[in-house]
Amino acid sequence: MQIQKQAFTLIFSCLFSMLLITTSNSIAKSGCPTKCGNVTIPYPFGIGLDGECSLSPTYNIYCNTSLVPHKPFLLRTTTDHLEITHISNTGIMRIRNNISTRCYQDGEVVESMSRGIAAINLFNLPLVISDTKNIFTAVGCDEMAIIADANGHASGCIATCASIEDAVEYNSTCSGIGCCQTATIPKGATIIATNIGTVFNHVNVSEFNPCGAAFLAERDKFVFNAADLSEDHTMFMESVMENVPVVLDWFVGVNETCQQGRQASSESGYICLGNTSCVDFVAGSTTGYRCSCNPGYQGNPYLSPGCTDIDECASERNPCSHSCTNVVGSYRCSCPKGHHGDGLKNGTRCSSNRSQDVMRISLGISIGFLLLSVLVSWVYFITRKRKLMRLREKFFEKNGGILLTQELPSNAGTMESSKIFTTNELKVATNNYNENRILGKGGYGTVYKGVLKDGREVAIKKSKVVDQTQVEQFINEVVILTQINHRNVVKLLGCCLETEVPLLVYEFISNGTLFDHIHKYKGTTSWLTWENCIKLAAEAANALSYLHSAASIPIIHRDVTTLVQGTLGYLDPEYFQTSQLTEKSDVYSFGVLLAELLTREKPLSLERDLEERNLATYFLLAEKEDRLMEIIDPQLVREASKDHLVMLAKLVKKCLNIHGEHRPTMKEVAIELDALMKQTRHPWINKNKNYEETTNLMGQHQLYPIHPIPSYGHNTSADNMVLSGRQYSMERSLISEMNHPR
Ligand SMILES: *[C@@H]1O[C@H](CO)[C@@H](O)[C@H](O)[C@H]1NC(C)=O
Ligand SMILES: *[C@@H]1O[C@H](CO)[C@@H](O)[C@H](O)[C@H]1NC(C)=O
Ligand SMILES: *[C@@H]1O[C@H](CO)[C@@H](O)[C@H](O)[C@H]1NC(C)=O
Ligand SMILES: *[C@@H]1O[C@H](CO)[C@@H](O)[C@H](O)[C@H]1NC(C)=O
Ligand SMILES: *[C@@H]1O[C@H](CO)[C@@H](O)[C@H](O)[C@H]1NC(C)=O
Ligand SMILES: *[C@@H]1O[C@H](CO)[C@@H](O)[C@H](O)[C@H]1NC(C)=O
Ligand SMILES: *[C@@H]1O[C@H](CO)[C@@H](O)[C@H](O)[C@H]1NC(C)=O
Ligand SMILES: *[C@@H]1O[C@H](CO)[C@@H](O)[C@H](O)[C@H]1NC(C)=O
């Protein structure tokens, strides 16, 4: 490890010295020394008085090898030597300073150097005293210092102080107290003289400040210290001369500008060589120019072959962070494959594309996903909508919509408001089939209360799955019901066929249900008198009879799909064998209703024995066992004659016949009930001449003795809500109960 390190150091030193040698070749002419002592002498200057190494004799440098270390001088005359401390290749030369000084005692000058005058003479040299890089300084407590050039341009400053303490405050500044300065230097001066004078010959300051000094020097190199006033003056002067140089500007093409130099007539010839640029040098009356390497080139612009390309990549200052390619006058940094950046150590360097790629890819993917999901959901919704539409169309077709639309328009004139509703209309009307809109549920399905756009209240009957074979019959029913304008038949406003199961829209009348009343008043005395009962029965029978006869196509009013307890009690037992509902099925159901009116018992009751659970069986059994009076409601037993009760019971028995063909027709039932009603009414006929009037009165005062209570959610017969009427409410309820298909 140690050996390796040493070897490395050795190799490095060798390389470094080689580098120095190569660069030194571009400093001085080949074969000429580049240095005198510690000072490098670049061409156009050259060491030697024969001019071999310099551009011209005025650039000769005398290197006094008697001195240690060797020192370079500008030899003006045999006595006037200027010691050079530094020559830069950019046009600057620094020379050792000369100082003006005088010392006083008792108001007399006791010691001075050349009468206090110091001079710099650059006459006939390609040098001027820099007026920008130097400043004139005087140090002392009673000084008046002057600087002047050969043309009489002068400048100066005055420095005073009353004590050392006075000056201490102004340490390190030349403000006039103990030290003064002026930056006004004659421009382009080749000969300059400085003089240190006095105002009062130090009469009152010589005790602490016997000597004054003045000098021209490079700016910012001299820093005043109050100690300078009192300390050993010789030491002070030596220190200044040693450490604070005077700056000179050197140039080529004396008395010529760049342009003049380039001309063929030029005396000295154009000095700037290849890959360089020329800059005019003008200072006062002095004219010349300087050469400099173009950017990206290095070398001595005055020395053949001029400036050469810098191989930026070769040096340890290689500006590139990765690969570097040198080109003439410049360089190129590049990044490895898969990386990006300017490749500069100084700049963005090179960074992997991966992170960027990952970002781009992930961005792309997310955008892709977004678009895809938008597309997919769009397609999904479109297809769903289409499917839904197709489904609606299918249902519409399946539910006989085409048939219905064919049937309906021909009758459109007579039906003011019957129509085919859309699913959306009904969905809005029922608040999306909201639970709290349910009026009732049964074996047939569910009835909702709805409000149409025009504000009409409707009952919407949502049946359970419909039998395909019944579609035609259903359509007939719809057509007929919408045509019928019978007082006992509830108004069917229309239907919706776009759902799997058609929805029926009825007029909505929110009155209490008949069967609430029938069962509620069991065993009590109520408005449900014998007369009212028989009237209700007659009206209902007439309505059904009308329905059966009014249409050429028979109407079947039964829920045929689902059998549940609620409707089972009314169902024609034949249906269980034939699965066919006929007009006589309606007669059976009507018989059950009559039995219900008479007994005020429910069509199916768990409270009765198993064999009597069905009201029809219960009634027939009682009739057979001749104990009808036991099961008929006591109010009716009281009010009606036994003959009438027996007559009605006989009618019920006929209606409830197991075999449909033995049952009377609805027409026959209606006739019998009408006759019974007339007999019943007969005793009071004088009192109520107008039947309609009576009905009205009953409707107003007896059918709704208290406030009508909407029976939302009623379990047995939602249709009672659907099929009702202002004055024929009970009758309509009866019919609806008969009428509760779909
Ligand atoms: C000049 O160089 C010598 C050795 O070469 C060194 O000792 C000396 O300090 C240098 N002088 C200056 C003023 O740099
Ligand atoms: C060179 O330096 C020596 C020693 O100081 C001196 O004697 C001699 O005169 C100098 N040469 C010139 C040419 O000034
Ligand atoms: C300083 O200036 C004086 C007066 O011109 C001159 O005689 C003397 O040689 C100069 N000293 C140096 C070191 O230049
Ligand atoms: C020097 O001091 C004396 C006595 O204090 C005073 O009279 C004189 O004016 C002072 N001279 C100057 C030049 O300040
Ligand atoms: C200021 O002057 C005093 C007294 O001569 C000296 O001790 C001190 O170092 C000087 N301060 C600076 C900053 O030069
Ligand atoms: C430069 O011009 C001045 C005045 O024009 C002249 O006196 C001097 O000799 C010229 N110098 C050179 C080196 O031609
Ligand atoms: C400029 O420099 C290049 C590269 O160093 C060199 O090939 C070319 O000759 C130079 N041009 C001139 C005019 O010297
Ligand atoms: C680095 O950047 C600075 C400022 O942009 C510039 O001045 C300098 O030359 C650059 N250095 C390199 C080696 O490119």
Q: Would the pLDDT of 61 be above 90? A: yes
**Residues 550 and 594 both lie in one domain:** yes
| Closest-CA residue to 420 (of 395, 455, 390, 391) | 395
**Those residues with Cβ within 8 angstroms of residue 472's Cβ, 6 or more apart along the chain or in another chain:** 400, 403
305 CA closest ligand 7 atom index: 14
Cβ neighbours, 10 Å, residue 292: 16
| Closest-CA residue to 334 (of 346, 326, 324) | 324
Q: Which range has the top average pLDDT, 71-75, 489-493, 680-684? A: 71-75
> Relative to the alpha carbon of 342, which ligand is closest?
8
Compute, in degrees rounded to 10, the torsion defined by CA atoms 731, 737, 741, 742: 90
Q: Is 346 in the pocket of ligand 8 (CB under 6 A)?
A: yes
> How high is the pLDDT of residue 511?
42
> Relative to the alpha carbon of 202, which ligand is closest?
4
Q: Name the residue with the closest Cα to ligand 3, atom 13.
A: 98
Q: Would the pLDDT of 489 be above 60? A: no
Q: Is 255 in the pocket of ligand 6 (CB under 6 A)?
A: yes
Of 655, 677, 693, the last residue of a domain is 693
Q: What is the mean pLDDT of residues 710-715?
A: 31
Asked if residues 313 and 320 have their Cβ atoms less than 8 Å apart, the reply is yes
> How high is the pLDDT of residue 13?
44
Q: Name the residue with the closest Cα to ligand 6, atom 13.
A: 254
d(CA 210, CA 141): 9
DSSP assignment letter at 104: E
**Those residues with Cβ within 8 angstroms of residue 339's Cβ, 6 or more apart along the chain or in another chain:** 322, 350, 351, 352, 353
Q: Name the residue with the closest Cα to ligand 3, atom 3.
A: 118
Q: Is 252 in the pocket of ligand 6 (CB under 6 A)?
A: no
Quick check: is 477 in a domain? no
**Residues 327 and 188 both lie in one domain:** no
Distances (CA, A) of 173 to 151, 218, 225, 241: 31, 15, 8, 20
d(CA 186, CA 149): 6
Site to substitute for ligand 4 among 160, 203, 206, most atoms within 8 A of C-beta: 203
Q: Which range has the top average pLDDT, 525-534, 550-559, 652-661? A: 652-661
Quick check: is 34 in a domain? no
Q: Is 115 in the pocket of ligand 3 (CB under 6 A)?
A: no
| Closest-CA residue to 326 (of 336, 311, 315, 316) | 311
**Residues 534 and 673 both lie in one domain:** yes
Domain that holds residue 636: 514-693
Phi/psi at 155 (5° precision): -155, 170
Q: What is the mean pLDDT of residues 234-255?
A: 93
**Residues 204 and 287 both lie in one domain:** no
Q: Name the residue with the closest Cα to ligand 4, atom 9.
A: 204
> How high is the pLDDT of residue 14?
41
- What's the token pair of residue 139? 């140090």
Q: Is 225 in the pocket of ligand 5 (CB under 6 A)?
A: yes
- Mean pLDDT score of the chain: 76
Asked if residues 198 and 214 have their Cβ atoms less than 8 Å apart, the reply is no
Strands 179-182 and 445-451: unpaired
The radius of gyration computed from the CA coordinates of the chain, to the nearest angstrom, equals 65
Complete DSSP assignment for 66-92: TSSS-EEEEESSSS-EEEEEEE-TTSE
Query: Comparing 155-159, 384-388, 398-402, 441-445, which segment has the lowest mean pLDDT?
Result: 441-445
Report the chain's terminal Cα–Cα distance, integer Å: 103
Q: What is the mean pLDDT of residues 34-62?
A: 92
Phi/psi at 740 (5° precision): -85, 45
Quick check: is 15 in a domain? no
Quick check: is 525 in a domain? yes
**Residues 296 and 324 both lie in one domain:** no
Catalytic sites, residue numbers: 559
Cβ neighbours, 10 Å, residue 323: 14
> How high is the pLDDT of residue 76?
78
Measured in Å, residue 274 CA sits from the centre of ligand 7 at: 6
- What's the token pair of residue 409? 């328009």
Distances (CA, A) of 632 to 123, 597, 628: 157, 9, 6
Complete DSSP assignment for 115-180: GGEEEEE-TTSSEEE-SSSEEEEEESSEEEEEEEETTS-EEEEEEE-S-HHHHHTTTT--SSBSEE
> How high is the pLDDT of residue 159?
92
Angle between helices 583-599 and 530-550 (to 10 degrees): 170
Per-residue pLDDT of 364-402, as tens digits, reads 888 888 988 898 888 888 888 888 888 777 777 766 666
Q: Name the residue with the closest Cα to ligand 2, atom 3.
A: 66
Per-residue pLDDT of 414-436, as tens digits, reads 444 457 788 888 888 888 888 88
Q: Name the residue with the closest Cα to ligand 6, atom 10.
A: 255
Q: Would the pLDDT of 729 be above 60? A: no
Q: In DSSP terms, which residues pair with 135 in a beta bridge?
A: 217
**Residues 99 and 245 both lie in one domain:** yes
**Residues 195 and 335 both lie in one domain:** no
Residue 692 one-letter amino acid: E
Phi/psi at 261 (5° precision): -60, -35
- What's the token pair of residue 147? 């600087």
Measured in Å, residue 87 CA sits from the centre of ligand 2 at: 21
Q: Identify which has the larger pLDDT, 535 or 229.
A: 229
For 178, counting Cβ atoms within 10 Å of its Cβ (0-12 exposed, 13-18 middle, 19+ buried), the class is buried
Per-residue pLDDT of 603-629, as tens digits, reads 777 677 777 778 888 999 999 999 999
Q: What is the mean pLDDT of residues 465-472?
A: 59
Per-residue pLDDT of 128-138, as tens digits, reads 999 999 999 99
Complete DSSP assignment for 294-346: PTTEES-TTSTT--EE--TTTSTT--BSSEEEEETTEEEEE--TTEES--BTT
Question: Which pLDDT band, with edges at 50, 70 and 90, does 107 fall under?
Answer: confident
Measured in Å, residue 168 CA sits from the centre of ligand 4 at: 22
> How high is the pLDDT of residue 472?
58
**Residues 153 and 167 both lie in one domain:** yes
- The pocket around ligand 7, CB under 6 angstroms, is made up of 274-275, 305-306, 308-309, 328
Strands 60-64 and 46-47: parallel
Measured in Å, residue 275 CA sits from the centre of ligand 7 at: 6
275 CA closest ligand 7 atom index: 1
Q: Tell me if residue 575 falls in helix, strand or coil.
A: helix
> How high is the pLDDT of residue 662?
92
> How high is the pLDDT of residue 470?
58
Measured in Å, residue 388 CA sits from the centre of ligand 1 at: 102
Q: Would the pLDDT of 529 be above 80? A: yes
Question: Which pLDDT band, with edges at 50, 70 and 90, does 92 fall under?
Answer: very high
Q: Identify which has the larger pLDDT, 310 or 19.
A: 310
Per-residue pLDDT of 186-218, as tens digits, reads 888 988 989 888 888 899 898 899 999 999 999
Q: What is the mean pLDDT of residues 546-560?
A: 51
> How high is the pLDDT of residue 719?
33
Q: Name the residue with the closest Cα to ligand 4, atom 14.
A: 204
Quick check: is 100 in a domain? yes
> How high is the pLDDT of residue 727?
28
d(CA 462, CA 589): 22
Question: Which pLDDT band, with edges at 50, 70 and 90, does 97 fall under?
Answer: very high
Q: Tell me if residue 35 falls in helix, strand or coil.
A: strand
**Residues 542 and 569 both lie in one domain:** yes
Omega before residue 69 within 30° of 0, cis:
yes
Distances (CA, A) of 572 to 27, 208, 460, 693: 131, 147, 26, 36
d(CA 628, CA 644): 13
| Closest-CA residue to 500 (of 395, 631, 361) | 395
Q: Is 688 in the pocket of ligand 5 (CB under 6 A)?
A: no
**Residues 109 and 187 both lie in one domain:** yes
> How high is the pLDDT of residue 580?
66
To which residue do tokens 């059918």 refer? Answer: 703
Complete DSSP assignment for 604-628: B-TTS-GGGSBHHHHHHHHHHTT-H
**Those residues with Cβ within 8 angstroms of residue 520's Cβ, 6 or more apart along the chain or in another chain:** 526
58 CA closest ligand 6 atom index: 13
Q: Name the residue with the closest Cα to ligand 7, atom 7.
A: 308
DSSP assignment letter at 189: B
> How high is the pLDDT of residue 182?
93
Quick check: is 446 in a domain? no
Q: What is the mean pLDDT of residues 153-157?
A: 88
Quick check: is 103 in a domain? yes
Per-residue pLDDT of 661-712, as tens digits, reads 999 998 899 999 999 988 876 544 433 333 333 333 333 222 222 222 233 3
d(CA 587, CA 597): 15
> How high is the pLDDT of residue 475?
60
Asked if residues 373 and 358 have their Cβ atoms less than 8 Å apart, the reply is no
Query: Comparing 238-242, 517-521, 659-663, which segment has the lowest mean pLDDT?
Result: 517-521
SS3 content of the chain, % helix, strand, coil (to 5): 35, 20, 40
> Relative to the alpha carbon of 268, which ligand is closest?
6
142 CA closest ligand 4 atom index: 13
Q: Identify which has the larger pLDDT, 213 or 542.
A: 213
Q: Name the residue with the closest Cα to ligand 3, atom 4.
A: 118
- The pocket around ligand 1, CB under 6 angstroms, is made up of 38, 69
Q: Is 98 in the pocket of ligand 3 (CB under 6 A)?
A: yes
Whether the model clears a pTM of 0.75, i.e. scores above it, the answer is no
**In the β-sheet with 100-105, what is the strand arrangement from edge to edge?**
108-112, 100-105, 211-218, 134-139, 179-182
Q: Tell me if residue 665 falls in helix, strand or coil.
A: coil
Question: Which pLDDT band, with edges at 50, 70 and 90, does 404 fall under?
Answer: low
| Structural domain count of the chain | 4
To which residue do tokens 């992997």 refer? Answer: 352
**Residues 335 and 222 both lie in one domain:** no
What distance lies between CA 405 and its chain's CA centroid? Answer: 53
Quick check: is 387 in a domain? no
Measured in Å, residue 255 CA sits from the centre of ligand 6 at: 6
Measured in Å, residue 299 CA sits from the centre of ligand 7 at: 11
**Residues 238 and 290 both lie in one domain:** no
> How high is the pLDDT of residue 484?
42
